[in-house]
Amino acid sequence: MNLTQHNIKIVHEKFGLIVDETFVNATQFKLFLKSIQGCIELKEDLTFFNGTDFLLHIPIAHLLNSIITTNVDTYKLAEHLINKSKLEAPVTKD
């Protein structure tokens, strides 16, 4: 079973890492990226609230002075289980 993870990082020269979020749902990731792009194009502050536990407000001046990067990683359950079993293996003599 493969799981695709979408990650976005927003790094500001003065404040450092502002956002480091991972999305499993590609549609939510796309909507978040579109909201960031819209704020940059319209010169508006980025304000985002998911309705439960994530609130983000970045003034446009700081957003424009930030580096924004995204990436997509494929997380494989089989690799996770192999690595986990290596960690749980009994100690052996070499």
pLDDT in the model for residue 44? 96
pLDDT in the model for residue 32? 93
Distance CA 49, CA 56 (A): 6
DSSP calls for 31-92: HHHHHHHHHHHHT--EEEE-SSS-EEEE-HHHHHTEEEEEEEEEEEHHHHHHHHHHHHSPP-
Question: Could you read off the pLDDT of 34-92 as tens digits, one per residue?
Answer: 999 999 999 999 999 888 988 999 999 999 999 999 999 887 777 766 766 655 556 55
**pTM across the whole model:** 0.74
> Is there a contact between 42 and 34 (Cβ–Cβ < 8 Å)?
no
> Is there a contact between 62 and 15 (Cβ–Cβ < 8 Å)?
yes
Domain boundary assignment for the chain: 2-88
